[in-house]
């Protein structure tokens, strides 16, 4: 047993310090970014915000809508090749990723989809615990099978494993264990890592190898998204912030929509026939307010992100991390502000 005494930070532990700016309007800020990926050598241009591959979020309708804002969607794992015809043939392969687990049936399904739609460019290999040897082996197998595909893989929260997944073939590493609004991993297992520090450390490791990260989980407002980009994230993945919209396809009842983690009882009953005896649920099921069209949330999100850039003098999203200075705050006082929406 050992203890690390160094302070680790979550989004609510910091604020971004304002700085002198030459920008006169939020509309001057450029949010689009262009990345070239280490292994696939493919280029991508867009607003680097991703919808998470969760039921009610990572849907085909969500992908179609977000593509109109140059944003990205990681589709849920339950789609098969016949479900993807319209999306794959009518929309750019640049706007979505096909998600997969790590079993033999997952690999077979992924093969069917890529064979049917070779224009698909992104694969998201998604597990709760990215620290197993078998996960790294699976990432390597997918890289060997499709060297031209851009691979998103995770989740991890430390620099060493970020580097390991990149060396195994990942272009973008998913960072985050336990910070999501419907994730209970920290409660059930005691395992996790404060998300802001995880982003800082993992992005530094990835950038040193010419690769990228996506900050996955923990963002509850546009300010958190700005903090994630300020900390060095190349992409930010959103679940709860994009839940409850028409594009998610959930049933609206009394102004509420059901939203659940993908390791929850609800998800496992739906997709796996129940919770296996050897494991426990690591997600919760909640009711979120019905929010209508996702367009309104997207515009609010992008507006907040542009505003954050103007406060620190960053004319582009690319420069936000270079212009960001975090100041630690008294968490107790900050929690009061958050609770009361101050």
List active site positions.
Answer: 183, 185
Q: Which two tokens stand for residue 301?
A: 């999100």
Report DSSP letters for 247-303, one per residue: GG-PPEETTEEEEE-TTSHHHHHHHSSS--TT----B-EEEEE--B-HHHHHHHHHH
Beta bridge partners of 45: 34
What's CA 72's distance to the chain center, in Å? 10
Q: Is 181 left (phi over 0), alpha (psi -120 to 50) or beta?
A: alpha
Question: From CA 251, how far away is CA 254, in angstroms rounded?
Answer: 10
Residue 272: what are its φ and ψ, rounded to 5°? -125, 5
Question: HSE of 227 in the Cβ direction (CA atoms, 13 Å)?
Answer: 25
Question: From CA 152, how far away is CA 295, in angstroms rounded?
Answer: 25
State the sign of the Cα–Cα–Cα–Cα dihedral 69, 298, 96, 35: positive
Q: Helical H runs in the chain?
A: 60-67, 85-90, 104-116, 133-145, 159-168, 185-189, 195-208, 222-230, 265-271, 294-312, 320-323, 331-339
Q: Are strands 33-36 and 212-216 parallel, antiparallel or unpaired?
A: unpaired
């Amino acid at each position: 047993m050992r203890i690390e005494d160094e302070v680790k930070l979550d989004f609510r532990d910091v604020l971004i310090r304002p700085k002198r700016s030459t920008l006169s309007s939020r509309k001057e800020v450029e949010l689009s970014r262009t990345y070239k990926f280490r292994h696939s050598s493919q280029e991508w241009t867009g607003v680097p915000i991703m919808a998470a591959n969760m039921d009610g979020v990572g849907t085909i309708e969500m992908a179609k809508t977000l593509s109109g804002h140059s944003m990205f969607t990681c589709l849920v794992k339950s789609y098969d090749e016949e479900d993807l015809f319209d999306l794959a043939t009518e929309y750019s392969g640049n706007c979505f990723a096909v998600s997969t687990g790590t079993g033999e049936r997952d690999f077979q399904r992924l093969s069917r989809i890529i064979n049917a739609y070779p224009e698909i460019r992104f694969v998201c290999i998604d597990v709760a615990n990215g620290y197993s040897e078998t996960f790294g082996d699976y990432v390597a197998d997918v890289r060997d099978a499709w060297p031209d595909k851009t691979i998103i893989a995770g989740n991890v929260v430390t620099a060493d494993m970020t580097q390991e997944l990149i060396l195994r073939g990942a272009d973008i590493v998913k960072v985050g264990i336990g910070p999501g609004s419907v994730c209970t991993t920290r409660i059930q297992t005691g395992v996790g890592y404060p998300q802001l520090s995880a982003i800082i450390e993992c992005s530094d490791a990835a950038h040193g190898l010419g690769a990228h990260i996506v900050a996955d989980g923990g963002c509850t407002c546009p300010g958190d998204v700005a903090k994630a980009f300020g900390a060095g994230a190349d992409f930010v993945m959103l679940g709860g912030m994009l839940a409850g919209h028409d594009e998610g396809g959930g049933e609206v009842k009394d102004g509420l929509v059901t939203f659940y983690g993908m390791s929850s009882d609800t998800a496992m009953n739906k997709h796996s026939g129940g919770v296996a005896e050897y494991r426990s649920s690591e997600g919760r099921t909640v009711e979120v307010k019905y929010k209508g069209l996702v367009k309104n949330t997207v515009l609010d999100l992008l507006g907040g992100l542009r505003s954050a850039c103007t406060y620190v003098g960053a004319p582009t999203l690319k420069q936000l991390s270079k212009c960001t200075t975090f100041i630690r705050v008294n968490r107790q006082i900050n929690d009061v502000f958050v609770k009361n929406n101050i």
